[in-house]
Every structure is written in C-alpha cells, then in structure tokens.
Amino acid sequence: MKSNCQILIVGGGTAGIMVAAQLKNENPKLDIALIDPANMHYYQPAWTLVGANTYDFDKTARKMSTLIPKGVTWIQESVTEFNPDKNNLKTDKDQTLTYDYLVVCPGLRMAPELVEGLQEAMDNGVVCSNYTDPNHTWETIKGFRGGTALFAMPTTPIKCGGAPQKIMYLADDHFRRNGIRKNTEVIFAIPGGVIFAVKRIADTLMNVVDRKDINVRFFHKLVKVDAEEKIAWFEIAKDLSAGGCVVMSDDDDKTIDKEIQYNYKDVKVSQKDGRYGIHFDMMHLAPPQAAPHFIANSPLSTAEGWLEVDEKTLQHKKFKNIFGLGDVAQLPTAKTGAAIRKQAPVVVDNLLSMISSNKLTDEAYNGYSSCPLVTGYGKMVLAEFDYSKEFKPDPKLKGFPFMLKDSSKEHWRLWILKKYLLPYLYWNKMMKGIRV
C-alpha cells in the first residue's frame, strides 16, 4: 500500500475528482493519491428533481472506480487524524500517509443531532429530505392528501442553500396538478430575514411566492421535531419586545409583524416555553450540516469547526503546503458545485506554482457560486453571485447559445440547463478535468 506521495487529496467528491483530474491533465507525471472510502459517487444537484419524480435516481450515481483519473492512486480508507506539522495523516486502517502537499475537500456531513428529535423523525419517515433520500421525498409528496405542507431550513451552513425551496415549488405544482392544493397550506419556515441573499434573485422568488400563495415565516429557528405529534418547534430569532406577534387569527391582521410573517396563513400553531410549534401533515427539511468530525477536531479547522483557508488563494492560513476547497471550507459564499467549478482551477494553479517555485500565482477565487433555483416543472431561475452577494452572471455561461440575457427571471430554457446540460457538463467535462 502506498504510504507517501507528492500530492495527497482527501475526498473523492466533486472537488477531489476535479482537482485530481485537472492536475493530471496539466502534468501526467505528478504523483497523486486520493483517499475516500466511498464506492459510489453521486451527482447530488439532480436530487431535487428526483424528489419531484422528474429524474431517475440511478442516473445520479456512478462507481467511484470509474471516476478516479488515470494514474491517480485510490486509497479506499477514511481519515482519522491530521498531523500537519509532520506532513502526514492517519487512517482508519492504522496507516500513516505522508505527503509533500495536501488538498482537503471531504465535503460535509448531515448533522440531524443538532435538532432535538430530528433523527428519529427522519428514521421513522415522518420528515423527508432530498439531502438524504430523494426517493422518499417523492413518495411523501405523492402520498400527501392535503393539510399543512411545511418546508424548513436549519441555521447551519448547508450545501446548495436554495434546495429547500426548490422542492417546495415543485411540490406546489404537483399539488395543483392533482387537485390537492385547494386543501393545502404551504409554509416555508426559514431562520433568516430574506428568502435569498441576492436581492435581485429574492425579488424574483417573492413573486413566485405570491403566485403560488405560499406563507413565508422568517426568523424561525428549528429546535425540535416531535415525530409522534407531527409538530416542528421553532424559536423566533427576532426581538418581539417592540410589538407585533407571530401567531394570531386572520382578524388580527393589524398586529402581524410583517418582518416575520409574509402572506400569513392560519395554520395550527402551539406555544410552549417561548417556542412556536407548527403542526404539519408533511414536512421536508434540509438537515443541519457540519464539517466531518475528523476536520472539526483537527489542527486544520476554524473555531467553528470548518476548514480554515484563505478566501482568495484557498491556501490554508497556517500550513502553506495545504489547500482546501468545496463544502468543507469556511468561505463566505454558498456551498455549491458551481463554486467548486471556480475554486478547483485556483487550487490547481496555485499548487503547481508552489511545486515549481514555492510561491502562489496571482489567481484568486472571487467567491463565485450559483444556484439553479427551480421554481416549478419547466421553470428555473439561475442565481449567480460572488462575495459581494450581487447578481454576477458567469461570462462562460452567458456565452452558451441557449442562455438568456437575464437569467434572474424564470424561463424554460434554464430548466433545460438544469435537467440536461448541467449533468452532461458534470460527467463529461468537470469530472474529466476539463475547465468549464
């Protein structure tokens, strides 16, 4: 078994495969090893569509062995410990692997234990989630017969922050097509004060909310799920001492705090110990998410437990021969595959420069990310932005003949991008180290 290498990559997800492939494309002679225990690799952006029965789950999966770039050694083990001062790490099979340079990109983990009762609710099928089992999401939506359909988000960073509302819009379409919507209230409970951080996109999405007659409840921090009673308990993360309230009847409209309730619906809500419990008949949730334990408990992490890297160079702030990218990195932008598409070339070029001249290039990651926000069957908005949180379309994408002049508005062409073109680019370009 290989015990030392020139470049060691931790993680065989989108980031790890892209970096390995791009490095090999640039210099086939590089000695590269990639460590990841998984047998399968998933194209998770399509799981939103799987959850709405418009994409086959099996098409999102490929064997990891078919994706490892030629000439890259695959070590099918798990990391247990980093020793950056010694340029080595340990694995679950008691191996010590040494390296000259390390690339850390193991993704993140689902952390349902951060919400009381959530693990039980998910295990029992009471709460569905595209993040863990999109087939179950579709079975839940298909079997729903009316009542309160609750969609919620955690307070932690999550991969693809728009995903919790994408499935809501698709579910709403399904309910309408099947005559269920007239007997249904759709509730979107979120911890923040806006539906999306980019104002131009948020304006579009609030128009979608209006058209679909969805109740948005802002500043709702999910703290507990009662699986037996089907109640999601929230704390309100906003000071109510100045007046206004959260739960009231329709004839009390004048007392509604508009910053908390948008398009108020009189669904059943209980109050206890300062918490508000929304009773639901179906619930979809993006579970809380966190860095893997072997990152959070390592010398590589920030105080919050995420991987500590420079937001522009993606070089570790303490260890100059270590780079990091992807969902595990603590960067002030969204955790998406589109972000990795822009991060990977910066890591690769800086890494090659360090090997050849022991210095970084002038390249810098600007925080670019994008979120294909599906707003219904056959409709989508493409949110593109950078560290500024302003709408910033990628010139490479705008050059595609099918793209619109303004992708901040809903259009069927963007749905085609989501369902057909992006999966093609992923498997046939990105995973092969072709810069797109």
**Residue 101: how many other CB atoms lie within 10 Å:** 20
Q: Are residues 145 and 231 in the same domain?
A: yes
Residue 13 lies in a domain: yes
Mean pLDDT across the chain, nearest whole number? 93
Residue 226 lies in a domain: yes
Reply yes or no on whether the pLDDT at 246 is more than 70: no
Return the closest-CA partner of residue 337 out of 36, 25, 44.
44
Q: For residues 295 and 307, what is the distance between their CA atoms, to the nearest angstrom? A: 7
Looking at the annotation, which residues are catalytic?
160, 371
Give pLDDT, residue 253: 46
Give pLDDT, residue 258: 66
Q: Indicate the residue type of 308.
A: E
Higher pLDDT, 314 or 404: 314
What is the number of domains present in the chain?
2
Per-residue pLDDT, averaged over 340-347, amounts to 98
HSE, CB side, 13 Å, CA atoms: give it for residue 106: 26
Give pLDDT, residue 242: 43
Q: Are residues 44 and 100 in the same domain?
A: yes
Residue 297: exposure state from Cβ atoms within 10 A (0-12, 13-18, ≥19): middle
For residue 257, give Cα distances in angstroms to 45, 213, 215, 232, 260.
35, 18, 13, 21, 6
Contact 2, 75 (CB under 8 A): yes
CATH of the domain at 225: 3.50.50.60
Residue numbers of the domain that contains 260: 112-285
Question: pLDDT tens digit string along 371-410?
Answer: 999 999 999 999 999 999 999 998 877 666 556 678 899 9
Per-residue pLDDT, averaged over 415-435, amounts to 96
Reply yes or no on whether the pLDDT at 275 is more than 70: yes
Q: Indicate the residue type of 32.
A: I
Question: pLDDT tens digit string along 178-234?
Answer: 999 999 999 999 999 999 999 999 999 999 999 999 999 999 999 999 999 999 999
Q: Are residues 19 and 96 in the same domain?
A: yes
Q: For residues 344 and 15, what is the distance between their CA atoms, to the nearest angstrom? A: 7
Among candidate residues 230, 265, 285, the one where a domain is terminated: 285
Give pLDDT, residue 111: 98
Among candidate residues 239, 260, 285, the one where a domain is terminated: 285
Among candidate residues 243, 269, 285, the one where a domain is terminated: 285
**Confidence at 3, pLDDT banded by 50, 70, 90:** confident
Q: Are residues 220 and 280 in the same domain?
A: yes
pTM (predicted TM-score): 0.94
